[in-house]
Structures are given as structure tokens and as C-alpha cells.
Amino acid sequence: MKSEWIITRWDGKKALQERKAIASSEDQGQENQAVNVHPDFTYQTFEGFGGALTEAAAVTFAQMPPRLQKEALRACYGKEGLGYTVARMHIDSCDFCTDNYAAMEEDGDVWGSGFSMRRDEQAILPLYRAVTETLGRPAPVMLSPWSPPAFMKTNGEKNHGGKLKPEYYGKWAQYLCRYIVEYRARGVDVRILSIQNEPAAVQTWDSCIYTAQEEKVFLRDHLYPAMQEHGLADVEIYIWDHNKERALERAQAILDAQTGPMVAGVAIHWYSGDHFDALRMIRERYPALKLLFSEGAVEYRHHAVNDHLANARQYAHDLIGNLNAGLQCFLDWNILLDETGGPNHVSNFCDAPLMYDRGEKTLTKVLTYAYIAHFSRAIVPGSVRLGSSKFTEEIDATAFRRPDGRIAVVLLNRTAKAMKVWIRMQGRLLPVELPGDSIATGMIDC
């Protein structure tokens, strides 16, 4: 059994990376410090990694010189970079836009000339086309709305929550269909639609509130019939698109014999903590339902801007917990931002794996980028999660069998102390020396 490992550690100032081959030996009864991998226990098939092509990312991208644009594209969607294959895009404006906007600012015929893609064509769609060129094919896209146009809402504005007026349920469903049709006509490979981004959060930016019953009624009586009407039955519908702690209850409230076949999956965010068991219970109760991570970011208002190790470790810990609970797709938030953590029309600045300094004209990969790479380069689309167990909460671990037959193991050392880990699999042992504050990925040939 051969293995090749990449180990990244943080020395307080920069990421240090080493590659090493680790030979295996016969397991003669190792009990302590073991991480067990069981290839005969198989779980979900993973569909891919990606990030959000927001207007903020697109505007930042447009300001970069061509050389750095190519570098950023390769860093995210190139095989030598993160190897992203999928993307998320917003319907109308979100907080990571330069201001509020909608494809229709005034009431009228959704399928008429008053519906305009002008704003999308300015920066967002050019970025998607650049991604397509880098990938060599259109990236599959998840679309999510943050808010209907102001005239459809109870509070008369896109920001600060409010609700969709009942009399606009049908028109909003048609609006979402028109958006998908227009995006597909422009070459965007729309595969997924979530009903509403963060439907339980009143935000200072674009937001809209749905109770579980309101989301269910909109889905059942308006959105699903409209998508069938316009030949969009192949677009998967995801519910919730919010934090994990209430994901199970939302699924239970929405899904029944009638609505169950309409819903492909549940989209989740991470802002309320781990709640990995909530995902496990969704998987147990609804085994056919997909689990998709649609947003996670280190927000400057809640986290230390320059605590790179804590930020990167948060990503890895959450990713491993979600993967082991059944996650099938990971979509990070903005793929790229400027040096302020924006642009953002309500100053809700945050970190991104790639940061572009407009004054210095430099592109920086933060530590989070390196940590995501430990997963995205190894757990490629079509990889199947394997059973595993670990000896301590100080280490996180996950394992996948790739389509090429190799087994990828990711280990996260959540402490500052060095640890030795014995990977036990099929009667063999692999000794892995994990430095403090490190993450390691092994590619094992059985």
C-alpha cells in the first residue's frame, strides 16, 4: 500500500507545505492514536466543489490586469488550482453587490420587455464566461434569490426582510423561471434553484422572510407548476438555504407525499455552529435528499480579520463534519474580493480565498485557500465517502474513494501540538506525523 501526502502547517506568518511518501507496514495490533478507514462501508457520492460568482467578485475581477485575471481563474477553476467545477450565482442583488437592483423595478409583464438582464451582463456574466473558458465547459450553477423586487414585498423595499405579498406568489414564480430561461439562453448551465436565501433572517441587505408553511405553499402551488410549464423540470429545487440548526425541522415541515418529489435537496450555511448531527438526521429520515453547502464565509464583523489559522481551521473543521454527515456538494461564498473584503453595499465585509489589492495590484491566496485545496484537489466529483473512525476530538478526519480507485484521507490537527496518527486500513498501517496547527491529505494506492 503506497501513499503520497501533502502537509500544510502555519508558522504564524505563512503557510509551509511539504510532500512526502509514506510506506505502510503490517498491522500487528495497533490500538492507540489510530484513524480507521473502512473501504467496505460506503456512503454518499460527492458532486463537486465551487464558489460564488457574485457581483462583488465580478467587479473586482474586472478591475484586475489580464495577467492576474488569468491567475485568479486558474487558481479557482484550473486543475492546478482548487479544481472547482461548480458555482453559485445570485438572482438580482445580494449584499455583495454595489447596490440594490432587480431585473424588473416596476410591476408589469414578467415575460415582456420590462424584464432586463442589463445589470447581469455588465460584470457577472462576463466572469461566468471566463470561468467557462478556463474549465473548457460551462460550470453547473446554483441560482439563489435574496429578495423579490421591492414592489412585490410587504415592506416595499429589497432590504430589511419583509415578505412576498401573497398576490405576487404566482408572478414571483414566473420571474424566477424567466431568470433561469434568460441565463440558460446566455450559456449559463443552471442546474439548481434554491427557493430563498436565508428565509429566516431579517438583514440590513437584500432579504425576504418565509415561514416553513409559506415556503411550502409557494413551492407546491406556484414555483413547481411554473417550472413544469416552462420546461424547467430538469432544474433541481432546494429548500431552506440557511443555517444547519433548523434544517431538519424545515425539511419535516415542507416535505410530504405531495411536495417530497418536488424537492431535490436541502441547502445549508454554517453561521450558527456545527450541528453536524442535524445533517445526519436529515440523511436518516430522507435518504434520497441531497445535502448541499451553499454558503460559508469569515465575516469581518464577527471574526478577527487577520487570524488566518482560526479562519482556515474553521473551514476544514466544518467541511469534515459536513462531509461525514452526508454532504454532497460544497459551494464557498465569494471566490474573490478586494482588499477591503468587498465591495458590499451595506459594508458587510468578509474574507475570501483570493484577495486583490487594488492599490498594490497584487493577488493574494489566504491560508483558507490552502486548506480548501486539501479537500477540493483530492475529493473530486464522483468520489464516494468511506467509513472511518478516529481516536480523539483533537483531530478531524474523513476518507473518500476517488473514481480512479485511490483513497483520499484528510486529517486536521486542531491543536498546536504535534501528533502521530496511524492510518489503519485493510490490515496495514500508515504512520503520519502531524505537526501542530496543520492539515494533511494523503492519496493512498491500495
| pLDDT at res. 301 | 73
In the chain, helix, strand, coil percent, each to 5? Answer: 30, 30, 40
Q: Beta strand pairing status for 407-413 and 362-365?
A: unpaired
Radius of gyration of the chain (CA): 22
Residues of the chain below pLDDT 50: none
The answer to whether 405 touches 383, Cβ cutoff 8 Å, is no
Spell out the domain ranges in the chain. 2-44+386-445, 47-378
Residue 59 identity = V
Nearest by Cα to 82 from 361, 331, 362: 331
Looking at the DSSP bridge assignments, the partners of residue 290 are 265
Single pTM value for the model: 0.97
CATH 2.60.40.1180 fits 2-44+386-445, yes or no: yes
Burial class (CB in 10 A: 0-12, 13-18, 19+), 56: buried
| pLDDT at res. 306 | 74
Check residue 46 and report its DSSP letter.
Answer: P
Report the distance separating Cα 291 and Cα 19, nearest Å.
Answer: 33
CATH assignment, 47-378: 3.20.20.80
The pLDDT tens digits for 137-174 are 999 999 999 999 999 999 999 999 999 999 999 999 99
Report the distance separating Cα 133 and Cα 155, nearest Å.
Answer: 41
